Structure 1
Amino acid sequence: MKKISKMLLSIGKTINKNRKDLVFRLSLVGTGLFLSTTNVFAAGVDEQAFKDLIDSFLNPLKNSILYAIPAAAVIAIAIMAMRNFFKNEEQKEEFDLIGKIIKTGIIAGLAQSAALVLKIFGVV
């Protein structure tokens, strides 16, 4: 009798869990359908003023990216050099410091040039 009651309780818990999942999913679908059919009215919004407001926050971030990329590369190279300085001779031979510095410089150069090209064309 105890086995049957435990089995029925586990089945009930599974059904409740599945039912909760189903109700949650249906509510999400219903909300999505409602929002997709709702009309949005923005007649009184000045779009240019809104764009200017957003640009006033984003322009300093865009400009700082041009300085952050080389600074991050220099910091990364300094950390690699310091780690290499404290290694013993066997570990120094295994670790290719010059290769890592060159790769870091290439990646920073590509990121910098991509950011610069995007800024020139006004994408970012």
Structure 2
Amino acid sequence: MKLSLTTIVLFLTVFSFAQNPDRKYKSHFQENGVLKVETNDGEYVLTFYSEAIIETVFIPKGEVYNTNSHAVVLSPERIKTTFKQIAGRISFGTDNLTVTIITAPFQIVYSYKGKPILSEKLGFQKNDSLGNDKFQYKKR
């Protein structure tokens, strides 16, 4: 399985600051290769750039969405995406990459060709023992 470094960087960029164990799903909207998921404390915008690259951005409540990507220098391609909602799960993806939103408890799971590659609930937490600019993944 070859997964682009860009895709991994995108995941890590988002989860270094966005996950919150108290986050609650409120609603979602999908159109033209973009999924927006509203939570109690902000909104996720998931945009496919290609079959294997997706950008996930979290915009906290009260903040403005900056459409300039911090991690992707490409322009989003128009690609075929699939969308399903079944029993508390929202699945959005391509033939290669799928993002599943679990609504309760809120969680985001990324899969590549059907195999999970990243699943975050608590996300990355700042750990002062590693220094102010270091992050450590904390499992629950």
Query: TM-score with structure 1 length normalisation?
Result: 0.19
Q: Work out which structure has the larger RCO, using CA pairs closer than 8 Å and 6 or more positions apart in sequence.
A: 1
Which protein shows a greater Rg?
Answer: 1
Structure showing the higher strand proportion among its residues = 2
Query: TM-score with structure 2 length normalisation?
Result: 0.18
Structure showing the higher helix proportion among its residues = 1
